């Protein structure tokens, strides 16, 4: 009897604590490894800053990787265990999960001031974050252009530097072909590899093909894939001929990560998948005789149209209004808070999507990242928001495999378009 | 005369007293020498991955992707391990051990009871139940993953280690194995126990368990190792960084545009050394156990 | 009179005993049945249900046999089926014969040596699939892998071969790795089985003048037959379920050269979100494996008599 009373007293005393405890909201953030956003220390630091201003919102983080991240989100969608916030790009947030109706409309985050700021940085970004009806599914944080890279030392030794414009880091298709000849003559084989073992790094191979003869990957309103245009088929044929002539390699057994390893250990003189973040993360792996020199993709008119990368936040529709609000608060803080915004972009290793932020790397120890800003004017159409994007990516590397296995270019492209344009 | 026979008998007894090994013939033939050479070459092939993982984990970033294979790290560094433990690698290891130990314990308990029932208790529907168990063994796990995930979400168990433990325990292989072992229990012992008035529980604990102990040992190790290696189930069920297992943790270390192979090797070493040690320590128990079941099954 | 009384008394006892057996049986089965029904049978039934639906991320509707019809017209499914069967038909016999051969040699050695070799062959199993794949990916690397390095140094080939990227060699590479991870347990089993062979019979045979080979076939082989069949079943199931290797090394490529049904199911379910179609393929795969296993079990039953 005494024990029972004692227990009851304890319970009554503890009860009020529960009432107060309900005041904190807990939200979950899933992030892909975008620069240091894949590093727990960095992200925890950002969350700590957030909690100084908003202690009532707790943020739990899950770090995805590109190999299995999509699988995890897919299963979470099916099991209805999706997080509150996910950080990635429009091809996933807008074109995939947004189009499937799983994301929240976050147009209320896009007030006029922010919209103007973002458009000033790049109209392509603003256009990519919303769907055809004008509903915004992504709130962008950073962007970049994907470029390629050459080993300056190899090019110098082979006398191939004359074929590129060192000041603007661009070259023409003709210059590219001459450079390949020079490298081959000097014995620098293999020159480069057109990797097609999987979807990892396909932004490199896409950019390579579309720029050679200024073809477009999709039509203007992003409703169909136009790999069957005359320019693109000519480009694919050129690559196939180069591979058969031994001036370029193709490998259906590797993906971008492997290609970068081959570039870093000086097997290759050219790498087709590169950007500011890759430069930072691979610095320590570079062999002694490799000097990194980023380049735009070769184009027939010397003006490349580079593929963009846009990263930002999207909110899953979990049916919980309180958590959605808390999530929006967090996103707004990370992207727009005057003390935090620049730091968030800095952590990603890429460039701000708000013109007002300027150069976030000036005067920091990552100042050389600023070097990659020279490619920003060449940012082309952000077409990754076209429908059926995920399936198309698989069709793309399968197309490349079939072509390099000897298939007829026009016929294989027809198959690709038929499957991708479903 | 009798002494000769006695000495021959003694020699045969000594021979038979030696454990293991087939003592029927003993001249070293050319075939045996050749076979041994081939065996050693193949053994090197099998040890090589482990060697590569361990040396790789101590290599710096340049050596680990070097064009010409670097057989021994030129500048051994513990940096990879430092970075590995900056991630919650120890947590992952603990998670994995907990996961495997729990699966092992629950499987042994439920499988030994179930196997005994299937072997010795003649209950209605016994053949049907056994057939279903055996058929389910053939089912590939990937196939039931989506329904399983929904079930776990419904039970609010997803993203916890239990989401991986429970399906592992449900797997019918354990029951099948224990049934094979339980077949060898002599009926007479059970009869005697029943006549003595022992209840079912007492019979099971005091008579059956000691006999099938080697089987339980084999099942324990087998379940532990299988649970450790079940990459796909872990991948789908576990998300939060703090509940990852070591295999999952290592797999996530691979990113799209960079090649931190040193870190991955360190993770791989951490993921395999403990289990190798466990296997070495419990080897005898394990191998003695499997035999009886397989041969007499 | 006494006889009838005794008989009816025994019948009552027998009925009671039978009921006791039933209750006891099910009580003992309860824990494993619970887990089995809950986490294996129930999802399996759901899978069967999904296979008759058109279930993707955006829709869920009844579709009858549509998935199954689609499967039989799917060229990639056909290729996957062929690859899977090649994997199984090649790996199972090689695993069995190789492990038997190894076991026959090492079982004759001193205890320490046997233990050593046994551990060595079991290593790939305990190292874990992720770690094993990372190493083999490096070994097979076209540009800096050790296999090409060795082959070039020994003059076996004059150009770096693209082991994992060439459709004609990719599947055999996967097979090789599968073999290394499959032979561990059979070797352990065979060593123990060979050591348990009745020595007196072997000695009698050698006294009769039988050669090693004859002793093996006539005496040892029949005695280790149960082990052999057990190994056949387990290896078959493992080969059918080979997945992590393919996912981590080749993603089914190049050009579907290493596509197996298991991987294709994963691809459809997780990459294309065709859950209904994936479930249908899963059911078919399960039926195929069940058929193989049933055949092997029948063989086992007849041999054990």
* Residues of chain A found within 8 Å of residue C168, distances taken between Cβ atoms: none
pLDDT of residue B156: 82
What count of CB pairs under 8 Å joins B to C?
297
How far apart CA A199 and CA A215 sit, in angstroms, is 21
CA nearest to C37 within chain B = B170
Same domain membership, residue C179 and residue C105? yes
As for how many domains chain B has, the answer is 2
Nearest-Cα distance to chain B for C31, in Å, is 5
Chains with 3+ CB–CB pairs under 8 A to A are B, C
Interface TM-score (ipTM) > 0.85: no
Task: Give me the residue from C36, C114, C266 closest to B133, CB to CB.
Answer: C36
- Examine the pLDDT at A113 and tell me if it is beyond 80: yes
Do both C186 and C300 map to the same domain? yes
**Residue ranges making up the domain that contains B176:** 81-296
Q: Judge if C257 and C183 occupy the same domain.
A: yes
Q: Is B179 in contact with B296 (CB distance < 8 Å)?
A: no
Give the chain A residue nearest C266 (alpha carbons): A71
C5 and C117 within one domain: no
Out of A205-214, A247-256, B196-205, least confident range:
B196-205
Question: Quick one: C75 and C191 in the same domain?
Answer: yes
Contact at CB, A62 and B239, closer than 8 angstroms: yes
Kindly list the residues from chain A whose CB atom is less than 8 angstroms away from the CB atom of residue B255. 33, 38, 65-66, 257, 281
* Structure tokens that stand for B207 in this block: 């008579």
Q: Beta-carbon neighbour count of residue A317 at 10 Å? A: 14
- Alpha carbon C159 to its chain centroid, in Å, reads 36
Residues C107 and C204 placed together within one structural domain of the fold: yes
What are the DSSP E strand ranges found in A64-125? 85-88
Question: Are the beta carbons of C251 and A71 separated by less than 8 Å?
Answer: no
Residue to test with chain C: of B80, B142, B198, most C Cβ within 10 A:
B142
Q: Is C118 on the interface with B (CB under 8 A)?
A: yes
Distance between CA atoms of B62 and C140, rounded to whole angstroms? 19
Residue of chain C with shortest Cα separation from B141: C241
Look at residue A84 and give its three-state secondary structure.
Answer: coil
Q: Is residue B110 part of a domain?
A: yes
| B229 vs C contacts (CB less than 8 Å) | 128-129
- Which residues in chain B are contacts of A75 at CB distance < 8 A? 145-146, 149, 236
Give yes or no: residues B118 and B188 share one domain: yes
Give C230's pLDDT tier (boundaries 50, 70, 90): confident
Asked if residue C103 and residue C5 are part of one domain, the reply reads: no
On whether both C93 and C204 belong to a single domain, the answer is: yes
Alpha-carbon span A1 to A3, nearest angstrom: 5
Instruction: Point out the residue among C57, C58, C165 whose CB comes nearest to the CB of A253.
Output: C165
Q: Which residues of A touch C144 (CB under 8 A)?
A: 262, 265, 267
For residue B90, give the CATH number of its domain. 1.10.3720.10
Task: Report chain B residues whose CB lies below 8 A from the CB of A278.
Answer: 257-258
Q: Do A100 and C58 touch (CB under 8 A)?
A: yes
Residue A106 CA to residue A324 CA, distance in Å, equals 10
Confidence at residue B21, expressed as pLDDT on a 0 to 100 scale: 46
Give the total residue count for chain B.
Answer: 297
Nearest CA in chain A to B63: A285
pLDDT at residue B172, as a whole number: 85
pLDDT digit string (tens) for chain B, length 297 residues? 444 555 555 555 555 554 444 444 556 778 888 888 999 999 998 998 889 888 988 988 888 888 777 888 888 888 888 888 877 888 888 999 999 999 999 999 999 888 888 888 888 788 888 888 877 876 767 778 778 888 888 888 878 899 899 988 888 888 887 887 787 777 888 888 888 887 778 888 888 888 788 778 778 887 888 888 887 788 778 877 788 888 888 777 766 666 678 888 888 888 888 888 877 777 776 556 455 444 443
Residue C188 near residue B225, CB atoms below 8 Å: no
Q: Which residues span the domain enclosing C203?
A: 68-121+171-304
Same domain, C207 and C114: yes
Cβ distance of B295 and C195 shorter than 8 Å: no
Measure the CA–CA gap between B94 and B184, rounded to whole angstroms. 37
C219 and C272 co-located in one domain? yes
Q: C100: burial class by Cβ within 10 Å (0-12, 13-18, 19+)?
A: buried
Task: Name which of A100, A391, A401 is nearest C253 (Cβ-Cβ).
Answer: A401
Q: What is the pLDDT of residue C10?
A: 57
pTM above 0.95, yes or no: no
> Under an 8 A CB cutoff, do C202 and B22 touch?
yes
Considering the domain architecture, whether residues B30 and B137 belong to the same structural domain is answered as no
Q: What is the pLDDT of residues A325-349, one digit of tens each?
A: 999 999 999 999 888 999 999 888 8
- Contact list, B258 vs chain A (CB under 8 Å): 257, 260, 278, 281-282, 285
Residue C152: inside a domain, yes or no?
no
Whether residue C194 is contained in a domain is answered as yes
Cβ <8 Å between C253 and A258: no
**Is C135 in the B-facing interface, judged by CB distances under 8 Å?**
yes
DSSP run (H or E) holding B191: helix B187-195
Distance CA A419, CA B53 (A): 41
Q: C-chain residues within 8 Å CB-CB of A190?
A: 143
In this complex, how many residue pairs, one in chain A and one in chain C, have their CB atoms less than 8 Å apart?
62
Phi-psi region for residue A122, left (φ > 0), alpha (ψ -120 to 50) or beta? beta
C36:B172 CB<8 A:
yes
- Please tell me whether residues C94 and C29 are part of one structural domain: no
C241-272 pLDDT, tens digit per residue, is 788 888 888 887 788 888 998 889 888 887 77
Please tell me what DSSP assigns to residue B26: -
Q: Rounded to the nearest 5°, which phi and psi values hold at A270?
A: -130, 140
Q: Compute the mean pLDDT over every residue in chain C, rounded to the nearest whole number.
A: 82
Q: CA B123: distance to chain centroid? A: 32
pLDDT tens readout for residues C165-219: 888 889 999 999 999 988 988 888 788 778 777 778 878 887 887 777 777 777 7
Q: How far is B279 from chain A (nearest CA, A)?
A: 30
CA distance C155 to chain B (A): 17
**What local confidence, expressed as pLDDT, does residue B295 receive?**
40
Q: Which residues of A touch C272 (CB under 8 A)?
A: 390-391
C169 touches chain A (CB under 8 A): no
Tell me whether residues C46 and B150 touch, CB distance under 8 A: yes
CATH topology of domain A23-145+309-378: D-Maltodextrin-Binding Protein; domain 2 (3.40.190)
Q: Which of C57, C167, C253 sits opposite A100 (nearest CB)?
A: C57
Contacts of A7 (CB under 8 A, 6+ apart): none
* B136-to-B141, B224, C45 alpha-carbon distances in Å: 10, 20, 11
CATH code, domain carrying C187: 1.10.3720.10
Tell whether B147 and B185 lie within a shared domain: yes
Q: Which residues make Cβ contacts (< 8 Å) with residue C59, sequence separation at least 6?
A: none
The answer to whether residues C10 and C97 belong to one domain is no
Instruction: Tell me whether residue B65 is in a domain.
Output: no
Domain contains B74: no
Q: How confident is the model at residue C305 (pLDDT cuts 50, 70, 90)?
A: very low
The reply to whether B137 falls in a domain is yes
Q: Which residue of B has its CA nearest to A74?
A: B236
Nearest to B221 by CA among B176, B171, B281: B281
* Rg over CA atoms, chain A: 24
Please list the residues that pair with A86 across neighbouring strands: A30, A314
The tokens for A264 are: 């870093």
Give the distance from residue C286's alpha carbon to the nearest chain B alpha carbon, in angstroms: 5
Residue C33 lies in a domain: yes
Number of domains chain C is built from: 2
pLDDT in tens, A61-111: 888 888 778 888 887 888 788 999 999 999 899 888 988 889 999 999 999
Based on the domain organization, do B186 and B44 belong to the same domain?
no
CB contact under 8 A, B149 and A75: yes
Q: What's the Cα-to-Cα distance from A26 to each of A56, A58, A60, rounded to whole Å?
A: 8, 5, 7
Q: CB–CB of B67 and A38 under 8 A? A: no
Find chains touching chain B: ≥3 CB pairs under 8 Å: A, C
Fold of domain A147-305+388-420: D-Maltodextrin-Binding Protein; domain 2 (3.40.190)
From-to residues of CATH 3.40.190.10 in chain A: 23-145+309-378, 147-305+388-420
Q: Give me the torsion for CA of A259, A265, A267, A268, rounded to 10°.
A: 50
Q: Per the domain annotation, does B69 fall within a domain?
A: no
Task: Measure B248 CA to nearest chain A CA, in Å.
Answer: 10
Burial B55-82 (b: 16+ CB within 10 A, else e): bbbbbbbbbbbbeeebeebeeeeebbbe
Å between C35 CA and nearest CA of chain B = 4
Check CB contact under 8 Å for C166 and A253. yes
């Amino acid at each position: 009897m005494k024990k029972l009373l004692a227990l009851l007293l304890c319970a009554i005393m503890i009860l009020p604590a529960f009432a107060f405890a309900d005041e904190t909201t807990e939200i979950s953030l899933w992030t892909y490894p975008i620069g240091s956003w894949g590093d727990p220390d960095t992200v925890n630091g950002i969350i700590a800053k957030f909690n100084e201003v908003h202690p009532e919102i707790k943020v739990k983080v899950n770090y995805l990787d590109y190999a299995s991240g999509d699988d995890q989100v897919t299963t979470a969608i099916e099991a209805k265990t999706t997080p509150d916030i996910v950080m990635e790009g429009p091809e996933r947030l807008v074109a995939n999960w947004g189009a499937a109706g799983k994301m929240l409309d976050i147009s209320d985050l896009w007030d006029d001031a922010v919209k103007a700021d973002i458009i000033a940085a790049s109209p392509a970004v603003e256009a990519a974050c919303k769907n055809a009806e004008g509903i915004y599914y992504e709130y962008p944080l950073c962007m970049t252009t994907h470029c390629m890279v050459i080993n300056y030392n190899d090019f110098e030794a082979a006398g191939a530097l004359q074929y590129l414009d060192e000041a603007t880091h661009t070259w023409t298709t003709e210059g590219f072909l001459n450079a390949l000849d020079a490298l081959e003559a000097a014995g620098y084989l293999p020159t480069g590899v057109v990797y097609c073992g999987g979807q990892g790094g396909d932004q490199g191979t896409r950019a390579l093909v579309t720029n050679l003869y200024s073809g477009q990957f999709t039509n203007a309103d992003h409703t169909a894939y136009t790999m069957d245009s005359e320019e693109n088929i000519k480009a694919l044929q050129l690559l196939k001929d180069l591979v058969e002539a031994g001036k370029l390699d193709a490998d259906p057994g590797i993906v971008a990560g492997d290609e970068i390893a081959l570039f870093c250990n000086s097997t290759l003189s050219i790498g087709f998948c590169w950007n500011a973040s890759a430069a930072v993360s691979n610095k320590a792996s570079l062999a002694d005789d490799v000097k990194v020199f980023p380049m735009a993709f070769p184009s027939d008119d010397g003006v490349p149209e580079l593929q963009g990368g846009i990263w930002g936040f999207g909110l899953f529709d979990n049916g919980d209004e309180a958590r959605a609000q808390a999530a929006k608060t967090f996103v707004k803080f990370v992207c727009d808070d005057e003390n935090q915004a620049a730091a968030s972009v800095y952590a990603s290793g890429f460039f701000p999507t708000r013109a007002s932020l300027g150069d976030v790397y000036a005067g920091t120890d990552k100042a050389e990242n600023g070097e990659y800003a020279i490619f920003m004017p060449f940012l082309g159409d952000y077409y990754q928001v076209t429908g059926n994007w995920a399936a198309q990516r698989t069709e793309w590397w399968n197309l490349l495999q079939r072509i390099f296995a000897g298939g007829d270019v026009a016929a294989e492209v027809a198959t690709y378009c038929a499957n991708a344009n479903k | 005369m009798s002494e000769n026979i006695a000495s021959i008998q003694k020699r045969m007894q000594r021979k038979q007293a030696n454990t293991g090994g087939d003592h029927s013939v003993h001249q070293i033939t050319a075939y045996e020498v050749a076979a041994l050479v081939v065996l050693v070459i193949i053994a090197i092939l099998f040890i090589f991955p482990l060697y590569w993982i361990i040396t790789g984990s101590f290599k710096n970033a340049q050596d680990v992707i070097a064009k010409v294979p670097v057989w021994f790290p030129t500048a051994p560094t513990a940096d990879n391990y430092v970075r590995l433990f900056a991630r919650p690698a120890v947590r992952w290891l603990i998670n994995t051990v907990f996961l495997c130990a729990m699966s092992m314990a629950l499987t042994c308990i439920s499988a030994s009871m179930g196997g005994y029932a299937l072997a010795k208790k003649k209950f209605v529907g016994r053949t049907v139940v056994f057939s279903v168990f055996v058929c389910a063994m053939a089912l590939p796990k990937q196939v039931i993953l989506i329904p399983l995930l929904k079930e776990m979400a419904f039970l609010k168990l997803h993203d916890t280690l239990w989401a991986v433990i429970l399906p592992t325990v449900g797997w019918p292989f354990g029951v099948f194995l224990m049934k094979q072992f339980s077949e060898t229990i002599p009926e007479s012992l059970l009869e005697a126990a029943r006549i003595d008035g022992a209840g079912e529980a007492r019979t099971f604990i005091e008579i059956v368990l000691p006999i099938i102990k080697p089987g339980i040992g084999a099942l324990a190790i087998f379940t532990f190792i299988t649970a450790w290696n079940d990459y796909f189930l872990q991948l789908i069920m576990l998300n939060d960084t703090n509940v990852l297992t070591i295999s999952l943790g290592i797999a996530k270390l691979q990113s799209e545009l960079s090649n931190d192979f040193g870190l991955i090797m360190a993770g791989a070493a951490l993921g395999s050394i403990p289990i190798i040690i466990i296997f070495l320590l419990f080897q005898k128990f394990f191998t003695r156990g499997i035999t009886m079941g397989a041969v007499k099954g | 009179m006494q006889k009838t009384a005794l008989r009816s008394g025994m019948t009552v006892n027998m009925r009671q005993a039978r009921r006791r057996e039933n209750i006891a049986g099910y009580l003992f089965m309860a824990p494993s049945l619970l887990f089995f029904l809950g986490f294996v049978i129930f999802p399996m039934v759901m899978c069967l249900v999904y296979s008759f639906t058109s279930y993707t991320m955006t829709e869920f509707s009844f579709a009858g046999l549509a998935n199954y019809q689609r499967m039989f017209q799917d060229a990639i499914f056909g290729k996957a089926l062929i690859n899977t069967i090649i994997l199984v038909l090649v790996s199972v016999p090689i695993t069995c014969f190789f492990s038997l051969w190894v076991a026959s040699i090492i079982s004759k050695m001193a205890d320490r040596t046997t233990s050593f070799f046994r551990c060595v062959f079991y290593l790939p199993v305990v190292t874990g699939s992720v770690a094993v794949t990372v190493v083999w990916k490096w070994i097979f690397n076209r540009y800096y892998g050790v296999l090409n390095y060795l082959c070039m140094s020994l003059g076996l080939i004059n150009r770096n071969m693209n082991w994992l990227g060439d459709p004609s060699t990719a599947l055999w590479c996967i097979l090789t790795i599968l073999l290394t991870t499959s032979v561990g347990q059979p070797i352990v089993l065979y060593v123990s089985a060979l050591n348990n062979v009745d020595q007196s019979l072997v000695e009698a045979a050698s006294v009769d003048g039988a050669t090693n080979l004859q002793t093996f076939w006539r005496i040892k082989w029949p005695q280790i037959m149960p082990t052999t069949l057990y190994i056949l079943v387990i290896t078959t199931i493992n080969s059918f379920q080979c997945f992590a290797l393919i996912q981590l090394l080749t993603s089914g490529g190049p050009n579907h050269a290493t596509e197996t049904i298991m991987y294709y199911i994963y691809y459809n379910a997780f990459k294309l979100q065709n859950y209904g179609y994936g479930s249908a393929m899963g059911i078919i795969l399960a039926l195929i494996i069940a058929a193989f296993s049933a055949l092997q079990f029948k063989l086992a039953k007849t041999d054990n008599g």
